[in-house]
Amino acid sequence: MKKFSTIASALMLSLQAFLSIPLNVLAHESLSIQETTEQVEQSTETTESTEDSNDSSSESSTAESSESSTTSSSQSSAESSSSVTEPSESTTSSSQEPPKKEKPKVDIKQGVPQKEPAVEQRPQEVPTPQTIIDQEATVDLSRFVPSRSVTQNGAIHFEKDESVDSFIRKIGEPARKIGQEKGLYASVMIAQAILESASGQSQLAQAPNYNLFGIKGTHNGKSVSMATQEDLGNGTLYVTQAGFRVYENYEDCFNDYAILLKEGLTGDSNYYAGVWKSNAATYQEATKFLTGRYATDTHYNQKLNGLIETYDLTTYDKEIQGAPISAAGYKVPLNQYTISSPYGNRGSEFHRGLDMAANPGEPIHVSKKGRVTKAEYHYSWGNVVVIDHEDGMTTLYAHQQQYIVQPGDQVEQGQIIGYVGSTGNSTGSHLHFELCKDNSLSQSLLIDPQSVLFGN
């Protein structure tokens, strides 16, 4: 019994030992699994936390970026004076993407779009037609006419100005001559010249160009390049260089302008037919026809009419009869005069020519056809012109207020070469006229002008 008890105890101890080992192992393994599970769960939680944190950070970043972009865009749009609409991005894929517009440059410091510098687009040159007139007819009249007034009926009246009068004396006779030859109103052409050239003050109208009407192109192979304003066709003006015709003198200019009026434009030879004397009974009809056709100024005819009336320009529409031609073929150089001092001995001195007293500004006419050899200022003769004639004789015209010819000019009998004055060694307004047998002007070869001018 005691032995059985001992065996039973041993068996119990063995069983207990056997059972204790797996339980410990199992407990250890269970603990390891639990720890691993906890670690996995912790890792999962950490990952989820990290992902949540990242998602939160991403959402926060995206929201802030979107708000910042919206604010920046709003501020940029508000600060920019010219709002530029960016093209929306297309969601449709394409093998060839259309060229994107270049976004405005942004100043990083300011965050404001910078405007691209404007590129000036120069207008393309337009081929110049055969005859083009530079339209400056609406020039401000105050530049050359000091005072004007508008009457109740809309007519424009100008107060006389000496500078305009002086200009008219220079161009009046050439205009008269061409007007008679071409059947045009010289008065209208003179008034136009006053407007177009600012009474001869424009550089184009002065020597050596003599272009009174701003006609472009070349004349006998001559032209001058000058800056001029042009219209793009929408009222926008720009400055460009253009070639303008150059003339020998004012008569040459009037003749070329008269050809334009008589022959018209290419494709329309009757474009200016309304200004011809044969079609216009009065100068008023001619000026009215030019308005809107030659010049766009709606008051163009009123300005022309005002100048014609103020300066009595219709006198240039009439043909001058002049003095009769003598047996020797010479004419008296003045129409209105009084002989104030004859040729020959005058007290203790010898008077070389014939003095004819006249009002200042009285036109001086060529006594006989010839060629101008001198047109200058002389200390004694003042403004003087000398002309050689085909018969070998020479005439001299002294003390002029001004002369309007130059050496080398071919002049016709009766043509105006200057105006009576009192320049040089003179005590009053008069013309000193000399006649010499040759071009030496030697005293021994001088002839009494009265014997040639009034001889039968």
* pLDDT tens digits, 372-404: 999 999 999 999 999 999 999 999 999 999 999
112-137 per-position pLDDT tens digit: 444 444 444 555 444 444 455 554 43
φ/ψ (deg, to 5) at 157: -115, 135
| Structure token pair of residue 280 | 């216009």
What's the pLDDT score for residue 131? 55
Residue 9's pLDDT band (boundaries 50, 70, 90)? low
The CATH number of 141-317 is which of 3.40.50.1370, 1.20.1050.10, 1.10.1040.10, 1.10.530.10? 1.10.530.10
Q: What are the beta bridge partners of residue 295?
A: 291
- Rg, C-alpha atoms of the chain: 51
Token pair 């800056």 is at which residue? 227
Least confident residue range of 74-88, 160-174, 251-265, 316-330: 74-88
**In the predicted model, is pLDDT for residue 92 greater than 80?**
no
13-45 per-position pLDDT tens digit: 665 555 555 444 444 444 444 544 454 445 445
Percentage of the chain exceeding pLDDT 70: 65
What's the pLDDT score for residue 160? 86
Residues 445-451 have a mean pLDDT of: 94
Single-letter amino acid, residue 241: Q
Average pLDDT of the chain, as a whole number: 76
To the nearest 10 degrees (0 to 180), the angle between helices 283-290 and 300-310 is 150
**In the predicted model, is pLDDT for residue 108 greater than 70?**
no
> Which of the pair, 417 or 147, is modelled with greater confidence?
417
Cα distance between residue 27 and residue 22, in whole Å: 8
Cα distance between residue 91 and residue 186, in whole Å: 76
What is the second-level CATH architecture of the domain 338-453? Answer: Distorted Sandwich (2.70)
CA 263 from chain center: how many Å? 27
Residues 332-341 have a mean pLDDT of: 91
**In the predicted model, is pLDDT for residue 224 greater than 70?**
yes
Residues 241-270 have a mean pLDDT of: 93
**In the predicted model, is pLDDT for residue 432 greater than 50?**
yes
**In the predicted model, is pLDDT for residue 53 greater than 80?**
no
Single-letter amino acid, residue 140: D
* Domain assignments of the chain as residue spans, ordered by start: 141-317, 338-453
**In the predicted model, is pLDDT for residue 144 greater than 80?**
no
What's the pLDDT score for residue 287? 96
Q: What is the largest CA-CA distance in the chain?
A: 205
**In the predicted model, is pLDDT for residue 75 greater than 80?**
no
Least confident residue range of 113-127, 225-239, 356-370: 113-127
Q: What are the beta bridge partners of residue 229?
A: 239
Q: Which helix (H) or strand (E) holds 21?
A: helix 2-79
Q: What is the SS3 string spanning 164-192?
A: HHHHHHHHHHHHHHHHHHHCCCHHHHHHH
What's the pLDDT score for residue 170? 82
182-212 per-position pLDDT tens digit: 999 999 999 999 999 999 999 999 889 999 9
Residue 295's pLDDT band (boundaries 50, 70, 90)? confident
What's the pLDDT score for residue 325? 82
| pTM for this entry | 0.55
What's the pLDDT score for residue 417? 93
Single-letter amino acid, residue 261: L
What's the pLDDT score for residue 382? 96
Least confident residue range of 40-54, 55-69, 385-399, 428-442: 55-69
Q: Which helix (H) or strand (E) holds 252?
A: helix 250-263
Percentage of the chain exceeding pLDDT 90: 46
For every residue of 96-148, DSSP letters joined together read SPPPPPPPPEE-TTT--EEPPPPPP-PPPPPPP-SS-B---TT--GGGT-S-E
What's the pLDDT score for residue 152? 58
